[in-house]
Structure formats: structure tokens, C-alpha cells
Amino acid sequence: MKALRHPALQIGMAAILGILFGLVAGEWAANLKFIGDIFIRLIQMSIVPLVVSSVIVATGSMSGTGTGRIAARTFGWILGFSAVSAVVAFVLASLIRPGAGMTYTGELDPTLQESADEASGWQDTLLNFVSTNVVEAMASAAMIPIIVFSLLFGIAMRIVIDNTGNDIVLRFLDQLQQIVLTMIRLVMYIAPIGVFCLLAAITGDVGFAVVTTTLQYLGTTLLGVLIMLSVMVTVATLRTGLNPLKLPGKLAEQTLIAITTTSSAVTFPTVLRTAVERVGISQRVANFTLSVGLTMGSCGAVLNYMIVIMFLAQAGGVELSFGQIVLGMGLTILLNMGTITVPGGFPVVAMFLAASLDLPVAAIGLLIAVDWFTGIMRTFLNVNGDTFVAMLVANASDEIDRDVYNGTKRVIAQEIDADEFEEKFAKADQAD
């Protein structure tokens, strides 16, 4: 019975019951929609203070940056694979159109619909990144101007802290962030009820298409993961010249832990040990590249969140402009590169993306219901993607021991200090 207390299982059961209830009750199930809307709004109201505090704290806490060729290569490969993930997700979602089958016929949320169908020139798009009134931007949930303000505020605060040594504002905002996260955790206690009501209402409206749409969404994500894995294996093979047929056996242990725990943090010690002892990556490169990849190398998350953007647009019948598509790709990459840290898990990130691109939120309940499955896929690609990046970085400086990779030599990896990685572990699990 202890398993029944797991949030993911409770949400999954609520989703199934909600779909069944919606199929039976039909249009009457729409009477439950307001309860689901309350759940969505409880998350929405936390987005602005969470983004403001998170971005300012992340930026203001930067007291130094990695230097040297290893850092440049690490960031370059992470950014490159993230960009490819975003493009692959866009192409797949455009071809498969997972959200089109359940087209949501209701009106967009009044706070989001102002510019949903507007396509302005690139100059106006860039101009709108900067608000003349940040309070007004916060009131209307205009996320991009809020992020720009928060980044500038965080940089300025870091300068003041370096000059004066006074970090009282940073500590206050860090505490504010923790409070808002606690609010979200409280809201998530009612997630099963909210998901039940949302899916009952949607199913009553569109019928069995909800089930086929869910399978299309999961299938699109899985296909994207397999394509990205193929890309990474191909690139690593071409650059290193190592035998790719040995990779499945070497990565099996970390893959098993990743898909059973859906946690990059839990998997990290195994990833580090595998990189050194089985792949032959030097301890120096493994320590730096894998620790950076723990929070920044989230190709699986980039892939999934770009598919989420396309899903919500298709479900709401919103035609995204070229500028919005590029902006969506940029946001998914920045979210997972650490520049914009939005903790709180999938519901918060999905709501953030919807608010940033003026997309309807009605279908988010469906995505929350199956997030345990997409979490497995995200973590699988996040974890193994970090290993491929480490291989490429190590190869460039000739720091892969090919005898270790081929199994003719043994080395022992250094033990890690778990306390040192505590903050990175938390951020990694948010990406998963």
C-alpha cells in the first residue's frame, strides 16, 4: 500500500479515472472543469515570483566561471546537442502533430490570449523583450521582459555584493524562492484531484481522442530520444574512433538506474565511475564535464519541452510564428543550460513556457498525467548524453585511455563528496 502514496502513481490513477469518467459522463463532465482550473491557477500564480527569485538568485550567485579549453569544449558540445534536440523536437512534432487530435475548442485564458495570434516583425519582437514597466510585465505575466529584468538585476546585485560584501538581498531572495517552492509542493498535493477534473472535462469534450493523443505525445518523445541517441553515438564514434558496439554494455548500469529512478542526481556517482573505469575518460575531464552536465546537459529535457510547446499550440489551434518557434527553442535551451533556472518540476516549466509564448494551458493536465513516462525518457537522454559529451571533450585533449575502453586495463575512479554536489543534485532532478 506504500506504493499508492507515490505522487506519480496517484496522478496516473487519477488520469485514468478522469478519462473513464469523461467517456461515461460526456458533456456533463465539463461541470468539473472549474476545479481543474483552480489547480492550474494555483500553479500559475506562483510562476512570476518563482521566476524572478530563481533567475536573480542564479545570476547573483555566480562568483566565478570555468575557464580553459575543457570548459569551452564542454559548454560548446552541451549547447550544440541541446540545439539539435530542440530542432529534432520541432520537426517531429510538426510532422506527427501529437496535439492536433484533441483540439481544444475553449477560449484561451484572457491573460494569455492578447498576442497569441499576433506575428510581429523581428524588431518588434526584440523590442518587446524589454518592458517600460516591470510591474506591469509581472501583472500580465510577460515572462521574457521579466527574465531580462531579473538577469540585469542579478548581475547588478553580484557587482554590489563583490564591492560591499553585503549579500542580504541575495539571501532574502533565496529565502523567497524556497517559500514559493514550498507553496508549489503544497499545491501538488491536490494534483490528483486537479488532473482528474481536467481530464474528465477534456475527455467529455473530445472523447477517446484524448487517449490516442497521449500515445502520440509519448511516441513523439520516444522517437526524438532515439534519434538524439543515434546522433550522439554517431558523433562520438566519428570523433573518437572507438567501437560503438561496446557502448551498450558500458552504459547499461547507469541507464538502468536512470530509468528506474528518473533521477540524474541518483545516477551521477555511477555515471562518474563508468566514465573513468569503463569508458577511460580521465578523472580531470570526468569531474569537470560531468558535474557541469549534471545541471546543464539536459538534452532530454530540451527535447521534451519543445514537444510540449508544439503540443499546446496544436491543441489550442495556435499557429506559432517563426519568431515564436525560435523563442521557444531558445527558452527550452536556456532553461536547461542553467541561465534561467525554474525549479518546481514539469508543471511549473510547462506553465512557464505556455505563459512565455501565449499558449493555452487546458491540455497541461494531460501532460502532467503522463509525466512519469516522459521523465524516464528525459533522464535516459540526460544521463547518457553527459557521458557522450565527456567522451568528446576528453578525446579533444587526448584524455581517453583506449586500453580502458577496450577492456585491457583497469583503473579506479575517485570517490565523490555528495555534500559538494547537493545543490547540483537538486537542479538536476528539477530538469528530469
Confidence (pLDDT) at 93? 95
Taking only the tens place, the pLDDT of each residue in 292-346 is 887 777 899 999 999 999 999 998 888 888 888 998 998 888 877 654 555 557 8
Selection from 351, 370, 372 nearest residue 361 by Cα: 351
Among 344, 324, 305, which residue's Cα sits nearest to residue 430? Answer: 344
The neighbouring-strand residues paired with 281 are 400
For residue 202, give the nearest of 213, 215, 216, 187 by alpha carbon: 213
The DSSP output letter for 277 is: I
pTM of the model: 0.77
Measured CA distances, 333 to 35, 257, 326, 353, 431 (Å): 33, 25, 11, 12, 11
Task: Say if CB 196 and CB 15 are below 8 A apart.
Answer: yes
Instruction: Based on DSSP, count helices (H) and strands (E) in the chain, helices before strands.
Output: 19, 0
- The contacts found for 269-276 with CB under 8 angstroms, 24 or more apart, are 269/416, 269/418, 271/383, 271/386, 271/387, 272/413, 272/416, 273/413, 274/250, 274/387, 275/387, 275/390, 275/413, 276/411, 276/412, 276/413, 276/414
On whether the CB atoms of residues 352 and 47 are closer than 8 A, the answer is: yes
Cβ 295 vs Cβ 427: under 8 Å:
yes
- 23-74 per-position pLDDT tens digit: 888 888 888 888 988 888 888 888 888 888 877 887 787 665 444 678 888 8
- Pick the closest to residue 212 from 52, 329, 55, 97 (CA basis): 97
- pLDDT score for 284: 84
Q: pLDDT tens for residues 332-381? A: 888 776 545 555 578 888 888 888 888 887 778 788 888 888 988 998 99
Over residues 243-259, the pLDDT tens digits come to 999 999 899 989 988 88
The band of 424, judged by pLDDT with boundaries at 50, 70 and 90, is low
- For 384, residues 6+ apart whose C-beta sits below 8 A from its C-beta are 229, 232, 251, 254, 255, 258
C-alpha to C-alpha distance for 42 and 187, rounded to whole angstroms: 7
| Furthest-apart CA atoms within the chain: distance in Å | 68
- What is the arithmetic mean of pLDDT over 86-111? 76
Mean pLDDT computed over 83-105: 86
The CATH code belonging to domain 31-431 is 1.10.3860
Indicate the SS3 state at residue 132: coil
Q: Return the higher-pLDDT residue of 74 and 116.
A: 74
Look at residue 116 in the predicted model and tell me its pLDDT: 39
Residue 46: burial class (beta carbons within 10 Å; 0-12, 13-18, 19+): buried
102 or 93, which is more confident?
Answer: 93
Report domain extents, the chain: 31-431
Confidence of residue 87 (pLDDT cuts 50, 70, 90): very high
Confidence of residue 123 (pLDDT cuts 50, 70, 90): low
Task: Please give the Cα distance from 261 to 239 (Å, whole number).
Answer: 31
Mean pLDDT of 165-194: 87
